Amino acid sequence: MVSKAAIVLLIGLLGMVYQATQLPPPNHNHSIHDDDNYFVVSQRIKLSDGRYLAYRERGVTKDKAKHSIIIVHGFGSSKDMNFSTPQELIDELGVYILQYDRAGYGQSDPNPKRSLKSEALDIEELADQLQIGSKFYVIGVSMGSYATWSCLNYIPNRLAGVAMIAPIINYEWPSIPESLIKDDYRRKIIKLAMWLASYSPRLLHWWVTQNWLPSNSVIEKNPAFFNKRDIEILKRIPGFPMLTKDQLRQQVVFDTLRGDWMVAFGNWQFDPIKLNNPFPHNNWSSVHIWQGYEDKVVPSQIQRFISERLQWIQYHEVIDGGHLIVHYSGLFEAMLKALLLGEENASYKPRSSILGS
């Protein structure tokens, strides 16, 4: 029988991964923000396999855009996640932003055949149908980064650049040395979740809706899951609406989350650490990883290992950052400038003493 403590840790980890995709309430004065009406039927495209994909457009219009960016939301999130970014910067850089509901989320149809490759092909078809150009940027947030890795593998010729913000780690990647992960408690939790999702989904569904599990408010205040800056952020952003017991009791919600989790942490068809640089002729790195040094979801030492093996990736580290760095003031602006202009902010350059530890 699975222990209560293990399930509590599992729910906490799910909450952490989800929370990283949620952003602060909109600043209606200077930021790209969510609509006041959350019940508007979204614009959708029909994919070649018959599924519908919902999307929304932000920033400058396509005809005025210098840069087109597709943002990939993470676990339990949607296209309506808000990025608190000054409108003046968006206009200055000429940024067109395309956000979409991944399969099964929001107003997009589920994909019973969801895979790493299908995530990349959905992005490519969305870009083609909306005619945003032959090349575009992709930003993946938290678990949404597995779709970003997939783009690097399956459609590298379509990419102008890539950024991954607090990207999840799949402990099954063959190039990660056992010595680096053998004692990692997160690995054990993910293995437990994968076993339950694969062999006993009904038990998992029943268990995650039980009243004895901790509430979201308890999880949000737990220093085992979040560092100090994260906990401060959690005081002013939404909780875990898609991970409430009422939501999880809905089979369609549970199935979407379960399927997403299984693809993200299952056996991949490629090893990201063996990918080749898709931009060998650029003067600066066009692939970026942004990581909090104090992240309690994704160990920074594994993220540093990956960036050291793939030296064509520009690694940025927030020394006092947790898993919610995308919320931190000024971070998304720095990410845009690094991705689009090649500007490096010295505040987020990893210290050599840390890299050497």
Burial state string for 70-90 with b = 16 or more CB within 10 A and e = fewer than 16: bbbbbbbbbbbbbbbbbbeeb
| Residue 4 located in a structural domain | no
15 CB-contact burial (10 Å; exposed 0-12 / middle 13-18 / buried 19+): buried
- Full domain range(s) for residue 345: 40-351
Q: How far apart are CA 146 and CA 165, in angstroms?
A: 11
Residue 89: pLDDT over 90: yes
In this predicted model, what pLDDT tens digit does every residue of 136-190 receive, in sequence order?
Answer: 999 999 999 999 999 999 999 999 999 999 999 999 999 999 999 999 988 988 9
In a domain, 28, yes or no: no
For residue 294, the domain's CATH number is 3.40.50.1820
Residue 34 lies in a domain: no
Task: Please give the full DSSP string across 175-208, using - where no structure is assigned.
Answer: TS-HHHHTT-HHHHHHHHHHHHHHH-HHHHHHHT
Radius of gyration of the chain (CA): 19
Q: What is the dihedral of CA 222, 227, 229, 230, to 10 degrees?
A: -60
Q: Answer whether residue 346 is part of any domain.
A: yes
Q: Is residue 139 part of a domain?
A: yes
Residue 298: name the closest of 323, 316, 266 by CA: 323
pLDDT band at 240 (very low <50, low <70, confident <90, very high): low
Residue at token pair 């898609």: 242
Question: Predicted confidence band at 48 (pLDDT cuts at 50, 70, 90)?
Answer: very high
Domain count, the chain: 1
Cα-based angle 247, 111, 126 (whole degrees, multiple of 5):
110
- Indicate whether 260 belongs to any domain: yes
Residue 27 lies in a domain: no
The SS3 assignment for 300 reads: helix
pLDDT in tens, 266-299: 999 999 999 999 998 887 789 999 999 999 889 9
- Residue 9 forms part of a structural domain: no
Query: What average pLDDT is seen over the chain?
Result: 84
